[in-house]
Amino acid sequence: MLFRQYMHTNPIPIAASYLFGCGSKASGVVVDPLQEEIDFYMEEAKRLGMNIEYVIDTHLHADHISGGLSLAEKSEAKYVLHGSADTDYDFTAVEDGEELMAGNTKLTFLHTPGHTPEHLSILVTDTTRGDDPWFVLTGHTLMVGDAGRTELATSLEEGAGNLYESLQKITSLDDHIELYPGAFSGSVCGRKLSGKPASTVGFEKRFNHALQMKNKDEFIKYMTEDVPPQPENFKETRKTNQGK
């Protein structure tokens, strides 16, 4: 498997995007691409000898303009979102537990609402190495050090309640599974985020601030306190990403 993580910083938003997939069958996947970097992903895929078959957004972003639809059109890939995504354009819809194959790389989708209602996490397996998953891309659901904010697409309390349930899904994964988030320290989409943009499920279970709450009520209280400033023009940005 080929795997690349790209850390984007100012002057564009703090974000992480990914290019990975099956090198032997030249089958690539791009996750959470930024609009400003479309040519970069195309060049990287060419350099790595990969054809981009799937472009996936873990959610409809509110802090930056997604390059997902544009990159999918330019690379002739399928653009993937959770089936509940509210958009004015067509996309390839996936549901909780659904799988896609990119060569020998298996993607299993987990519906993990909370940060946004349509949020996806992606459990990835390199089938040439074994049947068990290797890593999970968690978007803005569970990041290194904290969880994603919950009021950009719904109410703060409703989002926090949904996020609590989604975190149970992620923390039920094996401790050794690597965890790669959609943002890191400096992002407005979380509070106590680490500058280290990778971890494991087990390490986050032990040390992530958001995972130390004893029950759902305590978690909701935690998530509704000390909320960071909202991204500038976040409602308009999300609408743009919805094609509205």
Cα–Cα distance list, 234 to 63, 204, 223, 238 (Å): 6, 28, 19, 6
Question: Concatenated DSSP letters for 97-133?
Answer: T-EEEETTEEEEEEE--SSSTT-EEEEEEETTT-SS-
- Helix (H, G, I), strand (E, B), or coil: what is residue 175? coil
Run of H or E including 69: helix 68-75
Per the listing, tokens 């697409």 go with 153
Which of 99, 157, 143 is CA-nearest to residue 124?
99
**Which residues pair with residue 120 across a beta bridge?**
111
Q: What is the pLDDT of residue 57?
A: 98
Q: What is the pLDDT of residue 232?
A: 87
Residue 83: other Cβ atoms inside 10 A: 15
| Orientation of helix 68-75 relative to helix 38-48, angle to 10° | 40
With a cut of 70, which residues of the chain have pLDDT below it? none
Q: What is the pLDDT of residue 52?
A: 98
Domain residue spans of the chain: 2-226
Q: What angle do CA 115, 118, 123 make, to 5 degrees?
A: 85
Separation CA 11–CA 24 (nearest Å): 36
CATH superfamily of 2-226: Ribonuclease Z/Hydroxyacylglutathione hydrolase-like (3.60.15.10)
Q: What is the pLDDT of residue 164?
A: 98
Model's pTM, two decimal places? Answer: 0.96
Residue 147: other Cβ atoms inside 10 A: 33
